[in-house]
Structure 1
Amino acid sequence: MSLGEEIRGHLPFLRRYARALTGSQMHGDNFVHTTLEVIVAAPDEFRTCDDTRIDLYRNFHRIWESAFISDGEGDDESDPLVRAANRKLRRITPLGRQMLLLTALEGFSVGETALITGADNDIVESLLAEAAGEMDREARTSVLIIEDEPLIAMDLEQIVRGLGHEVAGVATTHEDAVAAFENTDAGLVLADIQLADGSSGIDAVQDILAIAPVPAIFITAFPERLLTGNRVEPTFLISKPFGENTVRAAISQSLLFTPQLAA
């Protein structure tokens, strides 16, 4: 199997991670593209272990570490989303935030995260604790849940409340979701992709965003189908089945990019 074939299956998940880290499909995909260019230019430097996925994320980390602070600045400084993110990132250790997403969103162990970031296990655990502590001090919001499976909706409600947020409501269809958003003060949306009446959670969120620019997190059993980089796609995406830490990290990261924080 060629290196390209080995990498291909991991790319949708690297795109997910990059988008969550930058809060932007465009910026995230640009980092992934740059990472691939570097790998193609120096393929002999790609491998450091027997795990292609770890090596792929390690190479991404090298690009991110050298460039992410300047990315989004300059011409984009007037963007309230970017200003909010930059302000928040100055208060959160960037490496700790990255480690949090690597473990909670991407499912890497502490040891694997250490290999990706070049840190030792003790540093990873310390920075994870710092990032988690910062999350615990974040402002709370009200969350609209769009989910047609009752048990999953109940799990999400419990997780959201356990994190200190309020539940603005639970909707099961596109029409109900838009109506619920109009009648609540929701500051964030958690949405399944496929809804009960055959409608799309993505379409529902697009209509919601036309009302107010709130962050949205999508939930799906098949994230790789939505992360091709060929069209407008979700920036924040978590996989079913999910755990509390995954939802917690996704909510926290998405709130970095909410316009209300830029005031």
Structure 2
Amino acid sequence: MQVAINETAFHLQTCLIDLSGVEPHLPALRRHAEAMSGSQASADAYTGALLEILATDSSILPAGSSSKVGLFKLYNRLYANLFNQDRREEDGYRQLSWQARQVLFLVLSEDFTIDETADIMDMTASEVEAIVRTGGGATPLYN
């Protein structure tokens, strides 16, 4: 399937990209990108950058994963390389590490399994389970 992506959708120059395997997952990826970046404009820029990379070389999608897991894993690598993974994000209620925030969002909001999340994050399933179990080490809202 050929999909035209223009600057109103992702602030890109018009281009044609074969999105056959990833197209159904773009709304979830944009939602995830917004949660991680904090704004829709940033989310669109990151998603657009990822699509430009895929348009150049679609073989970079990680092998051995579903198209959705591969897309999120590739996005995670791009985002992690742009930012220091140890920084803290203020979400108005508590501070979470970038990694904990990402893990919790993948599992709780995007319905990825523990194993899929571990694959996306390049972590072990035990590490992901520990973050989910402890809420990422967040300070409880109420005592």
Q: Is the 1:99–1:127 contact (alpha carbons within 8 Å) kept by the matching residues of 2?
A: yes
1:49-97 CA-partner distances (Å, limit 9, x unpaired)? 2410000000000011111349xxxxxxxxxxxxx739989x4221111
Q: What is the distance in 1 between the residues matched to 2:135 and 2:45?
A: 25
Residues 50 and 22 from structure 1, CA distance in 2 versus in 1: closer, same or farther, beyond 3 angstroms?
A: closer
Does residue 67 (structure 1) correspond to residue 82 (structure 2)? The answer is yes
Q: What is the distance in 2 between the residues matched to 1:43 and 1:5?
A: 11
1:84-142 CA-partner distances (Å, limit 9, x unpaired)? 739989x42211110000000100000000111111101111223343440x524x6xx
Structure 1 unaligned regions, length at least 5: 71-83, 141-163, 165-263
Q: How does 1:178-217 map to 2 (within 5 A)?
A: none
DSSP 3-state at the match of 1:111 = helix
Q: How does 1:1-263 map to 2 (within 5 A)?
A: 3-69=18-84, 85=90, 91-134=95-138, 136-138=139-141
Partner letter of residue 90 of structure 2?
A
Partner letter of residue 140 of structure 2?
R
Partner letter of residue 107 of structure 1?
D
1:25-71 CA-partner distances (Å, limit 9, x unpaired)? 0111111111112222222121322410000000000011111349x
Larger RCO (CA within 8 A; separation ≥ 6): 1
Q: What is the distance in 1 between the residues matched to 2:126 and 2:72?
A: 20
Q: Is the 1:18–1:32 contact (alpha carbons within 8 Å) kept by the matching residues of 2?
A: yes
Normalised TM-score (structure 2): 0.74
Runs of 4+ in 1 over 3 A off after TM superposition: 84-89, 129-133
Q: What is the distance in 2 between the residues matched to 1:47 and 1:63?
A: 13
| Aligned-residue CA RMSD (Å) | 2.8
How many residue pairs get aligned? The number is 125
Q: Is the 1:61–1:116 contact (alpha carbons within 8 Å) kept by the matching residues of 2?
A: yes
Structure 2 unaligned regions, length at least 5: 3-17
Q: What is the distance in 1 between the residues matched to 2:72 and 2:105?
A: 12
Identical-pair percentage? 25
Q: Is the 1:92–1:131 contact (alpha carbons within 8 Å) kept by the matching residues of 2?
A: no
